[in-house]
Structure 1
Amino acid sequence: MGVGESGHHVPSGRKSKGRPFAVSRSDKTRPTLFPRGIQPEHDHWRMHDAERAYVGPSQGDFPGSDKELFDAYRNAYSKLYDIKVDVRSPNGTYLLGENITPVKAVDLIEKWLFLTRAFIMDMNKLNDLYTKISTPSFFNFLKNFDIDKSLDARDEDPFDSQWMDNFNRLENKPFNKDTLDIINKIRECTFKESFKVIGSDEISARISDDFELIAKNLALNEEDNWSVSYLWKSYQAGIFPV
């Protein structure tokens, strides 16, 4: 087994003995790693070999936190599906679980790749959201702001009922730790940045709560939801939603 410039072990491409299946570099045996109709959209997802897709990209392919997220999610799914990522044959071919047939192995890899890709793309949406709201001028529209009038309007229908419907719908949705960490980071940022402008902890708390709904819906890929289509669009237009 060789070691590439990135520090990753490079599979030799030879099949191992005594194992039911090993991912091979051979064009004749290379499985289709992306489900039909699903194609990678980013350069760091352009994986040309079965081994590379299975092992994961090199450090150079994933900038910073994306690389960490990729590794964390790969490890989680390898445990979930009992794919032994850390087991290698003497000649360097990456092996799958002892009792997994070739057909099942390819199916599991496809699922893992699809879910990992979706996870990273959703995290990129949250990172983009954080970048936008952390811009110093983002909350400047609050400088000329009628606090009492706006709070009264938010406590009335239809806004109040729509907001609560979204909150209740999301309350029991499961989110992993990485997603919750960045959502909390977004909440904290929106509170601090808006408070610098308006100096009202009540308004800043409302804004922080709004962005929790926005971030959770983005993480769930529900961009047509009211939280994104109305709340987020209002903030982007420099309007406090009521």
Structure 2
Amino acid sequence: MKTEELKNFIEIELPIILGSLSDETIDDILDERDDDFFSEQWMQAYNEVEKQKKQQGIPATYSEEIRKNAFNTVLKITNSDDLAAYISDDFGLIVDADKVDINNSWINALWQSYKNGKIPSK
């Protein structure tokens, strides 16, 4: 996965996915993402990536542009800052994992969920 692929996804595919979500669906996604199982898996993957970023000297701000673009796209379409934060964090994690060359099955599944047109939440 290349950073350019992710940028294109945010600009082209993500708005289509978001446009199909009702307010109720967004609330359901937020509730599911707040579940301990999902958040623990997310944090485990995040910690693995952050450890590698430190070891490889990758700046903490490496994924900032991707995250900002994702956040603004989600907020503009859904008006949900919580969903925007979750999705921008996801894309930051995905691009950072790619940068440090981590092949994490959970992060791969997270990205695949987006590519399948779904916001990951379980």
CA contact (8 A) 2:67 2:89 kept: yes
SS at match of 1:158: helix
Q: Match of 1:125?
A: 2
The normalised TM-score by structure 1 is 0.43
Q: Deviations over 1:145-176 (max 9, x none)?
A: 31221111111142121011112222333243
Residues 1-242 of structure 1 aligned to structure 2 (within 5 Å): 125-135=2-12, 137-143=13-19, 144-145=21-22, 146-172=25-51, 173-174=53-54, 175-177=57-59, 180-181=61-62, 183-227=63-107, 229-242=108-121
The CA distance in 2 between the partners of 1:151 and 1:210, in whole Å, is 13
Q: What letter is aligned with 2:58? A: N
The number of aligned residues is 115
CA contact (8 A) 2:70 2:91 kept: yes
The CA distance in 2 between the partners of 1:147 and 1:129, in whole Å, is 22
**Greater RCO (CA < 8 Å, at least 6 residues apart):** 2
1:180 CA displacement:
4.0
Gaps of 5+ in 1: 1-123
The CA distance in 1 between the partners of 2:104 and 2:45, in whole Å, is 12
CA contact (8 A) 2:71 2:87 kept: yes
RMSD (Å) for aligned C-alpha atoms: 2.1
Gaps of 5+ in 2: none
The CA distance in 1 between the partners of 2:115 and 2:91, in whole Å, is 12
Q: Report % sequence identity.
A: 34
The normalised TM-score by structure 2 is 0.80
